[in-house]
Structure formats: C-alpha cells, structure tokens
Amino acid sequence: MASTSKQSVGQILSRLGRCLELIPIDPYGDEMSVGFYEKEGTITVWSFKEGNEVSSRLEEIRNRIVALGDLAISTNNPHEFYFPGGIVYSRAFKFLARNSVEKSPLIPIPHGRIEVKDLKSNMILFATPREENGTWIYTVDGEGEAERPQIRIRATVAGLVRYGEMEKIGDTELKFPCSSRYDQLVRSVLPYARNVTGTEDMLEADDSRGQMTTGTLGFSQ
C-alpha cells in the first residue's frame, strides 16, 4: 500500500469515503490527528501517521467506539466498523468519536441502567428500553427531587431527538429510525441531551477551535 503521506485529499476521500468527524489531537496516541470516514455504511478510523503503534492505537479506538455505541466490528479490517441497524447516525456519532479518542482508554465501559444526573435539579434522568413488534422503544423518566420534573424530562427527550437523531413517538418515548436497539448509544448521548444549551456551546467552541485544514491533517495538496 502506498504511503498515506503521498496521497491527495481526493485519493483519501475516494478510498475511505465522506468524513464523519475529525479529532485534531489524540492525547493517548502521540498527539496524532484521527479521522472517521464512512463509505457504503462502513466506517474507518484513520490517521495520516503510520506504523505498528499507530495501527494498534486505531484498533483500540475502533474497539472502544464499538463498545460505547453498540456498533459492530468489521471482519475485514481492524480499523473498520458499522451501525448494525443499517443507518449511520452521524450527529450522534460525533459524541462517540469524541469520547473514544479524547477520554482515557482505561475508563471502564459503563453498563447497567441508562442514567445521568440532571444538571438543573437533584433528579436522576434515565431511559428504559423495551421491544414492541420488533421495534425498540426508549422511555425517558426521572426520579428524585425537581421543581418541574416533566419539563426536564421533555427537555431531555428533545435533546435525544436533536443529538441522538431519534424519533419522538410519545411525550416521553423515542425510537431510532431503524428501530434497532442501541442502549450504549443512548447512554453516550444522554449526558449531552440533558443540556442542549451547554452542548451547543461546546460544539460551537469545537468548530471555532477545530476548523482543520487538510494541511493540519497531514494531507498533501
């Protein structure tokens, strides 16, 4: 395979597909940049850097993002994976990519009830999955003290629609358009869904800080 440093932007995109997300610095991978690219449903984690250590780090990122999102591992390439439901949720994917690269790989993958503490009250927000006729439905609820609990619950539902690309089918019920079960994906998006204003500020800061050029990524023109 030709050296990636000699490939043009067009060649990279032709081979790997559209860019879903770019992380400018991997703090656990010798500060290399990491990109996620999608082509015909297959997502590849990639960096312009080369070498055995880089390949191992990319595989580690792949395995972690699969665990954080209930995604599926490709058997053809240690850096490839896909959404088993067939639809690529690119907005929700941004949070998976961020967490898989920027957070320590030593942090255990969370399991158990899908929950997060509300930022504006002492309430714990949680999502409960159930299956109905082959469709997985998530019900959002809360427990604990809050001045106006239903408003906080509905706001979280709206956040899951916005950032998780879920479909609202009731006041507190949602599903993914593919109808698949993605407990870990919901778990990963829930902390951002509870605080839309804060998440928007974070994304805007990322955009202003991380508008990366092809040169930043090590591409040749």
CA distance 43 to 22: 13
Determine the pLDDT at residue 221.
32
Q: DSSP label at 45?
A: E
- Which of 15, 20, 130, 31 lies closest to 65 in space, CA to CA? 20
Average pLDDT over residues 8-30: 87
Average pLDDT over residues 141-149: 89
Determine the pLDDT at residue 196.
67
CA distance 192 to 195: 6
Q: Are 194 and 118 in contact (CB under 8 A)?
A: yes
pLDDT tens digits for 63-103?
999 999 999 999 989 999 999 999 999 999 999 999 999 99
pLDDT exceeds cutoff 80 at 207:
no
Higher pLDDT, 121 or 6: 121
Determine the pLDDT at residue 195.
82
CA distance 35 to 190: 24
For the chain, the farthest-separated pair of C-alpha atoms sits apart, in whole angstroms, at 61
Q: How many CB atoms lie within 10 A of CB 116?
A: 18
Mean pLDDT of the chain: 88
Identify the band that residue 14 occupies on the pLDDT scale cut at 50, 70 and 90.
confident
Q: Which residues contact 178 (CB under 8 A, 6 or more apart)?
A: 83, 85, 86, 87
pTM for the model stands at 0.86
Determine the pLDDT at residue 148.
87
pLDDT exceeds cutoff 70 at 109:
yes
Average pLDDT over residues 33-53: 93
Determine the pLDDT at residue 11.
81
Average pLDDT over residues 147-153: 88
Higher pLDDT, 144 or 1: 144
Identify the band that residue 206 occupies on the pLDDT scale cut at 50, 70 and 90.
low
Angle between helices 149-164 and 196-209 (to 10 degrees): 30
Question: Phi, psi at residue 83, to the nearest 5°?
Answer: -80, 115
Can you say how many angstroms the Cα of residue 16 is from the centroid of all Cα atoms in its chain?
18
